Amino acid sequence: MPSRPPVAIAEFSVSAGGAGPYGITAGPDGALWFTTVHDGRIGRITPGGDVTFHQLEPASSGPSIITAGPDDALWFTEFRSHRIGRITTAGDITSFPLPTPDAGPFGITAGPDDALWFTEANVDRIGRITPDGQVTEFPLPLSGAFPSAIAGGPDGRLWFTMNQANAIGAIGRDGDVAVHPLPTPAGAPVGITAGADGAMWFVEIGTGHIGRITPDGKFDEFALPDRASRPHAIAADGDGNCWFTEWGANRIGRITPDGRIDEHDLPTPASEPHGITQGPDGAIWTALEIGTIARLTAP
């Protein structure tokens, strides 16, 4: 049986349920920044729970994943408006249209080259944008792959999930792409993060696994106790563990580098946890689509 060490969970109501808090990241200003995908806003919450919002235009732009950039601003994808957005900690917003129509940008992360790298889910491309808005796009060798989340790896490449191709990809700065099919069929990987052990960790929403891939392409998979839990996003903490959201089971899980899993039920039923990150206070923060941001403090 998985162990269940005590974890304190606090929930902060930040919006109406229909707004849909989705992506979340630690900002350079000591606060957490998050997206509300359904009403087109970027939110900011302090560790103490104070909340402010910044409205995007149009409100239907669909802000999804958000990350801290190399320029002390926050960068985010606008899935429905097919743009990359930037917001300063003072709230100044800029949006950059993508060259390819209907690209559907989703995942985004800061790269090792002082640029932002992102996935274009609808058109099977990986994009790169500089802080001044110059965009380069790299085609994937697969069609219908639906590239989703993306994260920097220990080898200087950007690693990403291909949800519909059931594979993990890695792209170099020159655009060279390697594809690694998952061992388990229909895994449908989504979230991905760099672990402290020199490997990439990811979730398989389709089969209820947490996966691990080394830079040379070797896989390990760890089954969750409830295979129907639908893990969605994953983030590393400072202690060598990875935390992940279980959208279908209303839980937050934690996995150690050797594959031990513990899970923690969220206080509010059917809260739909999505994005997750470690905050500047050392706690784990997650965005709940019911209109709440949750803070988990582990011993």
- Contact between 276 and 25 (Cβ < 8 Å): no
Task: List CB contacts of 287: < 8 A, sequence separation 6 or more.
Answer: 21, 22, 23, 24, 34, 35, 273, 274, 275, 276, 293
Catalytic residue, chosen from 180, 232, 264, 274, is 274
Q: What is the pTM of this model?
A: 0.96
- Taking residues 209-226, what's their average pLDDT? 97
Our CA dihedral for 155, 201, 111, 107, rounded to 10 degrees, sits at 150
**274 counts as catalytic:** yes
- Give me the domains of the chain, ranges plus CATH numbers: 8-297 (2.130.10.10)
Q: Which of 225, 228, 227, 222 is nearest to 242 (CA)?
A: 222
Nearest one of 298, 299, 276 to 287, comparing CA atoms: 276
Three-state DSSP class for residue 247: coil
Decide: 277 and 293 in contact? Cβ < 8 Å: no
pLDDT (tens digit, 9 = 90+) per residue, 17-70? 889 999 999 999 999 999 999 999 999 999 999 999 999 999 999 999 999 999
Flag whether pLDDT at 289 surpasses 80: yes
Question: Predicted confidence band at 1 (pLDDT cuts at 50, 70, 90)?
Answer: very low
